[in-house]
Structures are given as C-alpha cells and as structure tokens.
Amino acid sequence: MSFSGCLSYQYERRVEGVEIKDPADAYSLGKTTIGNVLCSLGAPDEVHSLDNTDLLVYQRSLFQENGLSLGIPVFDMATGWSVKISAAGAVTRYDTLIFWFNSQGTLQDIVFEKASGRSYLKTLFSKQND
Amino acid sequence: MIRRYFFPVTIGFILLCTGCFVFGTSKDYHPFDPDDLESIQPGITTATDISGLFGAPTSTVELSNGNAYIYHRSVAKATLIWLVLVSFANYDTQVDQIVFFFDKNDLLTHYGASLNADKAGYGLPF
C-alpha cells in the first residue's frame, strides 16, 4: 500500500454517438434529397442553417486521456513538503459527416472525416497546423 | 526457489489488484412511444400535432424553407476501475433523437429518427 499515492496511471475514454461509416458514393450531388438521407441514416445529431443552405450533421466523438502522477508523500511527514509530478494528455477526435442542402432540399455538397482512426499519440503531439 | 518467492509475489499481486469497480448510469431519458411515430404522416401532420404528441422540442432550428424540431434523449453508462497504481474509466453516451422538418406553413415535410439509447453499454476502455 506504500505505493499508493506515489505512482499512479489513469486512463479515461468517452464515446458519444454511434459509428459513422464512409458514405462513399451512396449519395449524388443534385439528386439526393433530405428525405433520402433521413431514410438511410436516421436523425442527424445537429441541424444548421447557413444563408440559403441547410446542414445535416452526423457526428461521433471519441475522447481519450492518459495521465501519470508521481508523488513522494513520505516527505510530508518528515519535512512538511513533498514532491508531486503529474502529466496528462487528452485528445478528442470527431468522426463527422455533413450534408449541405439547398432551399429545395437537394444535396449540394457532402463532407466526411473519420478522425477517430488517427493515432492518439500522433494527434496529441502533432503541431496545430498539421 | 519458487516457494521462496511465491508468497511475497502473491501478496504483492493481490495488493496491486486491490481496488473497486463502479458502474453508473446517467439518464436524460424517457422513451419515445412507437405508436406516436406511426401516426405521423408527412404532408398531413402539422407542427402543432407534433408538439401535442411529443411535447416541447429540445431545440428548434430555423431553416431556409421552414423549421426543424429536434427531440433529444440520452443515456450514459460509466465503468470505473480503481486499482492501487492504475485507474480506468469508460463512458459511453448514446441518444434517441428525432428531427421533424416543417415547411413555412408548419406542415411536416419529412422526419428522421435514430433510436440508439439502448446501445449505451458498460465496458473496459480498451
């Protein structure tokens, strides 16, 4: 038990939403309607309106955090001070599928990004403009 | 040799595995009635009918050619494991969501339903 409080490792994972699959060529620009998308994917997670464009957003998020703590509590008793070092890294990655529809409800554009497949460490240590 | 180390190694292993498990559920939830969904007909059902069936929407969005009513229910399940040197936490959040789209006359044009709240589960985070 003397180890407890000295060195500890924490790992946390949070998932929100169901898996989003690559739509590939399942939808056609200028032909697919909002009704087609709702029939195949169900309700979107978010709905937005931009100018004369309506967006349906399907999203899944994956949060991961690793933490390592090192402390020497015995110093507390002997000298009144202690050494504590801790480091943690948290990353949230999103799988996102966005449909843009014009005011007639016809598909104008589609964007898909599967970020959850990226490496945790590479994402954590990558530069912001990567 | 094996006997000499068996006892301290066993005690050490037991101490390292000392801890607790916690399972928790957080619900912002009551299920949608399937009968209510079956009674909905695009082109006939109005925004007032939807409000009468499902109550006030969680949120509304003004669209280019009408409005959307969003109904959102969620279930989150947590699994926590605390051992002496390591701790693990896993949270899984899933939702039931229905979005109704109305034209400018508040007439239902189409709707989509995703009922995944029952897929929220406990588990290890690996």
Res B56: pLDDT:
93
- Report helix, strand or coil for B118: helix
Instruction: Please count the structural domains in chain B.
Output: 1
Instruction: Let me know: does B80 contact B87? Beta carbons within 8 Å.
Output: yes
Residue of chain B whose Cα is closest to the Cα of A68: B86
pLDDT tens digits for B106-118?
999 999 999 999 9
Q: How far apart are CA B64 and CA A103, in angstroms?
A: 5
On whether residue B126 sits in a domain, the answer given is no
On whether residue B36 sits in a domain, the answer given is yes
From the CA of B29, how many Å to the nearest CA of chain A? Answer: 15
B112 at interface of A, judged by CB pairs closer than 8 A: yes
What confidence category does residue B15 fall into, taking pLDDT thresholds of 50, 70 and 90? low
User: pTM of this prediction?
Assistant: 0.84
Res A1: pLDDT:
43
Task: Provide the H-helix boundaries in B55-105.
Answer: none
From the CA of A81, how many Å to the nearest CA of chain B? Answer: 22
The backbone torsions φ and ψ at residue B55, rounded to the nearest 5 degrees and listed phi first, read 85, -165
Res A76: pLDDT:
62
On whether residue B15 sits in a domain, the answer given is yes
pLDDT tens digits for B28-45?
888 888 788 889 999 999
On whether residue B77 sits in a domain, the answer given is yes
Q: Which residues of A touch B64 (CB under 8 A)?
A: 49, 51-54, 102-103
On whether residue B58 sits in a domain, the answer given is yes
Position with higher pLDDT, B63 vs A117 = B63
Q: Which residues of A touch B84 (CB under 8 A)?
A: 1, 3-4
B83: left (phi over 0), alpha (psi -120 to 50) or beta: beta
On whether residue B124 sits in a domain, the answer given is no
Residues in chain A: 130
How does pLDDT run along chain A (130 residues), one tens digit per residue? 444 457 889 999 999 999 999 988 889 999 999 999 999 999 999 999 998 899 999 999 999 999 999 887 666 666 677 778 899 999 999 999 999 999 899 999 999 999 988 888 888 888 765 5
On whether residue B73 sits in a domain, the answer given is yes
Residue of chain B whose Cα is closest to the Cα of A17: B94
What is the domain range of residue B71?
Answer: 2-119
- Report helix, strand or coil for A117: helix
- Kindly report which listed range (A110-124, B11-25, B31-45, B47-61) carries the lowest average pLDDT score: B11-25
Q: How far apart are CA B26 and CA B33, in angstroms?
A: 21
SS3 content of chain B, % helix, strand, coil (to 5): 25, 45, 30
Res A2: pLDDT:
46
Mark yes or no for CB contact A43/B112 under 8 Å: yes
- Among A8, A13, A55, most B C-beta atoms within 10 A, so best to mutate, is A13
From the CA of B63, how many Å to the nearest CA of chain A? Answer: 5
Among the partner-chain residues B84, B92, B111, the one whose CB lies closest to the CB of A15 is B92
On whether residue B91 sits in a domain, the answer given is yes
Position with higher pLDDT, A24 vs B80 = B80
Dihedral, A51, A54, A58, A62 alpha carbons, nearest 10: 10
